[in-house]
Chain A
Amino acid sequence: MSADSITTLTNIRSHLLCKIYIPEYRINAGDTPFATNLLFSDLNRGNNITYDGHTYTGLGVLLGVTTSNSELRPSSSELTISISGIPNGSLGIVINSKLKGCSVIIYRVLCDGVTGEVLSLLEANPFARFRGFVNNYSLQEEYDVNSRTSKNTMLLICKSSLDVLQNKISGRLTNSVSEKKYFPFDLSMDRVAALQNTSFNFGVPKA
């Protein structure tokens, strides 16, 4: 397929691809962790898309991504990815894997408005829309009284890389607790608390 310019197209639609890299992925508690990518898109179920060697599973309306800003200058931003319809049996994966701090990339992919095929454009396609990290996550249960079953929604709160940089580790303080957090066996800061507001009678002759 030859590459088209986006300006020549009259009917296009866009979809989102989410890639979450999880360095410590566990299915059950106690399993040896392994690294994996969670790959999904908002295309309809069964319409998987392959990009950069990865296949993104279509979740359709089960995937939700809030809006994000696009600015010329780097700016801090936050968005939330929601994945609905998680069965109870899969909750263990969410709980046992280390989701916080995982890197997140969201791509926007442009498809033909009629055929749904990924467009081959002179411009890059897909292109990155958001890069950041999972800052926090939460689970919401939707209980169906009639069927007495529940489905769960996972919310991944993502912050942009700039936010993570601004959320700098506070650094070392001159006190024992802070020192031992980084160097557990070091005693050099142990007396700081005792020295606070202490004065010495320097030069006073001792009997």
Chain B
Amino acid sequence: MTPDHAETTQAEPESVEELVAQWEDEKPPAAGPVTNIATGALVALLGVAGVIGSRSLGLGSASQPGPGTWPLVISVGLILLGLLLVVRARTAGFGEKFSVDSWRVASGLASMIAFTLLIGNIGFEIPAALLAFFWLKVLGNEGWRSSLIGAVLMPVVFYLIFVTGLSTNIPHLF
């Protein structure tokens, strides 16, 4: 690797150990045990709801299992596993903290839901253009020019593939 390529802020790792350490450093901050407790509690609650649901379905017996037997087994499992996660919240491994960047995920998801709400009414072309522009300009930090080009090109290409080419029934305006 030539020096002008090595533009990273960090030094080049010299050994496997350094490389692994660097990967650890680059990892996003881990979520704490509180997340595990919350997750475990939620899972246990899901299990409780499952048990209630299974009971109303009819539990049957071991020799004549009913519709609720198997859901009951899983639900009891969920309760136990959820409680186990609460108890072992400190050692059960952590996920990732929600970061300042998490709004990007929320807005990305919102743009998809907006697309879904619009597609049935006005076809896919305009929603696709809007979604592409949003993802390019706002989420992708692309320039105005490439974002606009992308927002126009993508629906056109998708139209050619899904409507002209594959003749799917995707709702379209034109």
Q: Do A and B bind each other?
A: no
Chain A residues with CB under 8 Å of chain B are none
Chain B residues with CB under 8 Å of chain A are none
